[in-house]
């Protein structure tokens, strides 16, 4: 029963590589897309933390001048 399924009517050598390759390509694209997204997200938050510190300092100074 199981052997018959894996045999694919004698076409196992063609059917299974198709499904294996499809899985490989799909998982590969998903992995690469998510990895790139998370890498960019990390860069943005790091750069915004740096810029944010400067913006907060700049926002403080005029108010000090006013008082």
Partner 1 sequence: MSMLSASQRLQTFANPTRFMALSGRIVGPLAIVSACLLGAGLYYALFDSPPDYQQGDTVRIMYVHVPSAWLAMFGYMVMAGASAMALIFRHPLADVCAKSAAPIGAAFTFLALVTGSLWGKPMWGTWWVWDARLTSVLILFFLYLGYIALWTTIEEPLRAARATAVLALVGAVNVPVIHYSVVWWNTLHQPASVFRLDGPSIASSMLVPLALMALGFTALFITLLLVRMRAEILRRRVRSLLMARARA
Nearest approach in angstroms of CB 67 to partner 1 is 26
Nearest approach in angstroms of CB 3 to partner 1 is 14
- Whether 3 and 12 have beta carbons less than 8 Å apart is answered as no
Residue placing its CB nearer to partner 1 in the complex, 13 or 66: 13
> How far is residue 41's CA from residue 35's CA, in Å, rounded to a whole number?
10
Taking the CA atoms of 15, 13, 4 and 19 in sequence, report the sign of the dihedral they define: negative
**Residue ranges that bind partner 1, judged by CB under 8 A:** 5, 8-11, 14-15, 17-19, 21-22, 25-26, 28-30, 32-34, 36-37, 40-41, 43-44, 47-48, 50-51, 54
What does residue 11 show for φ and ψ, rounded to 5 degrees? -105, 20
Nearest approach in angstroms of CB 60 to partner 1 is 17
């Amino acid at each position: 029963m199981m052997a018959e399924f894996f045999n694919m009517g004698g076409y196992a050598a063609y059917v299974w590589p198709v499904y294996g390759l499809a899985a490989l390509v799909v998982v590969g694209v998903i992995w690469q897309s998510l990895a790139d997204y998370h890498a960019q997200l990390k860069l943005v938050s790091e750069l915004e933390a740096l810029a944010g510190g400067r913006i907060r300092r700049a926002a403080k100074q005029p108010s000090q001048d006013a008082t």
